[in-house]
Chains A and B, each alone.
Chain A
């Protein structure tokens, strides 16, 4: 009875909404068509004006640098909030091993797993650095490089296990990277203001077209974003992994908040 009523309601509302939905679908531009005049203008002007060949990075780090600063501070706030929430209930202790459920066998890692993870993590780390470094020349950039570095560090966890991973990946370095990246980004935006120019004005020499270090302030912003994203993402992963840590001593509930 209720199922029937639901089916009838679904059919009626679908029939009522279909004309409107179809009107929108029919008015959409054909698949794959480039409709943005802004994109065409960027492609025409920016290679000569900024000496870089990755237009996405040029828009993110220079033309609309203020928007990216907003995103950067969102990332900083999100990471800070996550860390405060998770650490607040757990405390700051770092030693100890991962929690073990009683009655569940602990499988030993095979040597092959450890070896492959060490190789792959190293390769992934350097690939992340590569993607971040070439952000202004080829697709990629600070964000992509940063998340690749974070996932490379995570692969170490798979190979080494909780205790070793915890001794390799230090929370202090990660939070320093996150904060320093955000600060560097703010400085790039603010220093031109102090010199009496517009915020995010590209005040550094631009260099030769398609060179690895061409792009003026974009190089600095790219590096700042790479640091902040690598540090921030790894810090979030670390804090979540800490949730699986075995507690040193059983505390009373409500204590040590």
Chain B
């Protein structure tokens, strides 16, 4: 049962990573990265590492995508000002 769960989670994690690489629009890519972080944290939870899952869910699914989003916004603002 556990091995099946882990296997399914691994496949979903690989698919989510593939989505990040394949999406071309930066905004979509950021949200794909968000989903990837979420899936990874579930995988860590399934592998009995809840503390790592807690860090991953915040850092991988919230902080890093947010920094990218703000960077995108800054680029858009700079383009308008030019």
Contacts and interface: CB of A to CB of B under 8 A. Distances in A.
Interface string A112-151: 0000000000000000000100000001110110011011
A237 B80 contact: no
Contacts of B62: 151, 154
A139 B54 contact: yes
Contact of A240 (B3, B55, B67, B76): B67
A102 interface: yes
Contacts of B49: 139
Interface string B46-82: 0001110011001100110011001101101100100
B74 A147 contact: no
B24 to A, nearest CB: 19
Interface centre among B55, B58, B77 (most CB of A within 10 A): B58
B80 A150 contact: no
A241 interface: yes
Contacts of A243: 70-71, 73-74
Main secondary structure of the interface of A (DSSP, over half): helix
A143 B63 CA distance: 14
A139 B6 CA distance: 20
A237 B51 contact: no
B73 A139 contact: no
Given A101-B80, A140-B51, A151 B58 contact: yes
A45 to B, nearest CB: 20
A140 B57 CA distance: 13
Contacts of A233: 63
A139 B50 contact: yes
A94 interface: no
B66 A144 contact: no
Contact of A147 (B63, B71, B73): B63
A131 B54 contact: yes
Given A237-B63, A240-B67, A143 B74 contact: no
Interface in B3-59: 3, 6, 49-51, 54-55, 58-59
Contacts of A131: 54
A56 interface: yes
A237 B59 CA distance: 12
B65 to A, nearest CB: 11
A99 interface: yes
Given A101-B77, A102-B80, A144 B54 contact: yes
Contacts of B50: 139-140
B13 to A, nearest CB: 15
A244 B67 CA distance: 11
Interface in A64-102: 99, 101-102
Contacts of A147: 54-55, 58-59, 63
Interface of B: 3, 6, 49-51, 54-55, 58-59, 62-63, 66-67, 70-71, 73-74, 76-77, 80
Interface of A: 31, 56, 99, 101-102, 131, 139-141, 143-144, 147-148, 150-151, 154, 233, 236-237, 240-241, 243-244
Given A139-B51, A243-B74, 10 more contacts: A56-B51, A101-B76, A102-B80, A139-B49, A139-B50, A148-B54, A150-B63, A154-B62, A236-B63, A240-B67
